[in-house]
């Protein structure tokens, strides 16, 4: 594996939840990254954020690693979950709650319910 792939592999395996995004969880730099980080922050999920804009090798490397062409990318317990559209759908359907619960990831169920209520 390349250095970027090794670094990505170590990061997704060392953290329960990782979001590869443009910008940071405190200052997203694109609307899609902002949406996913916003959902995770609102739900109180502890997650590692990796700013792909800071390293071109990581920016391309994460696309190769997941075989997924877009950013952001969410990983839970080392497994690729999806990008913005998939995370949005999973949040609204309750699948994201179930994924977190099944993997022992702490989140605020009431906050998740509020997201669904606001989008009903």
Q: What angle do CA 68, 81, 13 make, to 5 degrees?
A: 95
- pLDDT digits over 69-112, tens only? 999 999 999 999 999 999 999 999 999 999 999 999 999 999 99
**For residue 70, what is the domain's CATH number?**
3.40.30.10
Distance CA 99, CA 107 (A): 11
Distance CA 69, CA 53 (A): 15
User: What residues make up the domain containing 24?
Assistant: 3-118
> 3-class SS at 8?
helix
| Binding residue numbers for [2Fe-2S] cluster | 30
First to last CA, the chain: 44
Query: Residue 120: what pLDDT?
Result: 86
- pTM of the model as a whole: 0.95
- pLDDT digits over 55-65, tens only? 999 999 999 99
| Binding residue numbers | 30
Query: Residue 1: what pLDDT?
Result: 55
Query: Residue 2: what pLDDT?
Result: 77
- Number of domains into which the chain is organized: 1
């Amino acid at each position: 594996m390349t250095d970027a792939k090794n670094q990505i592999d170590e990061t997704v395996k060392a953290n329960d939840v990782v979001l590869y995004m443009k910008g940071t969880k405190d200052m997203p730099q694109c609307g899609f990254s902002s949406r996913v980080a916003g959902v995770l922050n609102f739900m109180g999920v502890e997650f590692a954020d990796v700013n792909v804009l800071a390293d071109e090798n990581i920016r391309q490397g994460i696309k190769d690693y997941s075989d997924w062409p877009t950013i952001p990318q969410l990983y839970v317990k080392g497994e690729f979950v999806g990008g913005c559209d998939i995370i949005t759908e999973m949040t609204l359907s309750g699948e994201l709650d179930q994924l977190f619960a099944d993997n022992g990831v702490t989140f605020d169920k009431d906050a998740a319910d509020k997201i669904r209520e606001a989008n009903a």
